[in-house]
Amino acid sequence: MFRVFLGPMEEISCVACGGDFTIEKERREAHRLYECRVCKVQFWWPFKNPGTGFYGEVPALAARNLDPHSHPLFPSQRRFLKTAPKRGGTLLDLGMGTGNFLAEAQKRGYRVTGCDFDGAAVAAAKSAFNLTDVHACSVEEFLKQNPARRFDVITMFEVIEHLDDFAIFDTIRLLLAPGGIVVLSTPNRRRWTPFMRGDDPPRHLTRWNEESLKNFLERKGFSDIKVKFVPVVFNRFIMRFSEWTAGWLSFGLARKAELSLTQTPRARRAAAGGTLRLLSKIKLYGLFFIPACILYSYLWLTGRRNCTALYAVAKRI
């Protein structure tokens, strides 16, 4: 009864488990959101990643590539570094961006390797953090070029929701050493609605909860699966106010000014970027500290503080 028909003969099977029992949950322009009644994943249809050109046009990513030091780690990356399983082993980060996380993992004793399809980000990682074992390619290409390499830990933070093909998990299993672990994080679909901003198709193609993520990793042949909740961090939470007031209280002036410094020598650019970010932080706290405290307390009291992201660790069988 839950089978979905788009036309007389067309039906949508679950992109994660292949099951036929999917139900439509939401429509957004050309996209429809389905939930699988078997494995509980939610996915947008058409299930198609917009490709690398789409990300190259995002201003936040251009600013990140210009000054990698300025961008904070995700709370899930901090959690990994704090708990640091298999410290000192080999680590491969997929979707490494500009390498901020890899640089921190290296400081904690990991022998680090990274992949990202964004060549500009990989180049920025090399020059900003002196990372050498980083590659502008897909993980499948990496395996082809390095068929004998194996890793103790493979990380992929905020990547799975962008994927339109889960065959990558077969490659991950091939690249893991026996007993190796995969660590990933993704937005929790139970989070407070204003936090869902940016969680739209075609940028994000899947939505996960604890159950669907566990089911998925189990189906992909992993064991000892643990899925945990990542709480809201106040410093990041207050930054949301800039997004919510964009256009009438926040104009992204610091980012625009930073991007206009492309031709400025690196040292001066870093100094100017630091000043701009400090000024925008002062403005942020001056304007939004009290409302942010009230809203943060509300999330805490209603039990939604823990619903921002999911953090999963699973072992290769």
Q: Which residues in this chain contact Zn ion in the complex, by CB under 5 A?
A: 14, 16-17, 19, 36, 38-39
Name which of 38 and 62 has its Cβ closer to Zn ion. Answer: 38
Exposed, middle or buried: residue 78 (CB in 10 Å: 0-12, 13-18, 19+)? middle
Smallest gap from Cβ 192 to Zn ion, in A, equals 26
Q: How many CB atoms lie within 10 A of CB 226?
A: 13
Name which of 39 and 96 has its Cβ closer to Zn ion. Answer: 39
Which of the 8 DSSP states describes residue 72?
P
Smallest gap from Cβ 216 to Zn ion, in A, equals 8
Name which of 203 and 219 has its Cβ closer to Zn ion. Answer: 219
Exposed, middle or buried: residue 55 (CB in 10 Å: 0-12, 13-18, 19+)? middle
State both tokens at 130.
Answer: 């002196």
45 in Cβ contact with 39 (< 8 Å): no
Q: Which of 270, 283, 288, 235 is nearest to 74 (CA)?
A: 235
Smallest gap from Cβ 228 to Zn ion, in A, equals 22
Name which of 2 and 285 has its Cβ closer to Zn ion. Answer: 2
- The alpha-carbon radius of gyration of the chain (Å, integer) is 20
Name which of 40 and 204 has its Cβ closer to Zn ion. Answer: 40
Name which of 38 and 272 has its Cβ closer to Zn ion. Answer: 38
Task: Look at the chain and count its residues.
Answer: 317
Smallest gap from Cβ 22 to Zn ion, in A, equals 7
Name which of 43 and 74 has its Cβ closer to Zn ion. Answer: 43
166 in Cβ contact with 220 (< 8 Å): yes
Smallest gap from Cβ 189 to Zn ion, in A, equals 14
Alpha helices (H) in the chain, listed in sequence order: 52-56, 59-66, 75-83, 100-107, 119-129, 139-145, 168-175, 210-219, 234-244, 253-259, 266-301
Name which of 39 and 94 has its Cβ closer to Zn ion. Answer: 39
Show Cβ contacts of residue 12 under 8 Å, excluding neighbours closer than 6 positions: 4, 6, 22, 34, 45
Smallest gap from Cβ 20 to Zn ion, in A, equals 9
51 in Cβ contact with 27 (< 8 Å): no
Smallest gap from Cβ 186 to Zn ion, in A, equals 16
Smallest gap from Cβ 166 to Zn ion, in A, equals 11
The three-state secondary structure class of 94 is strand
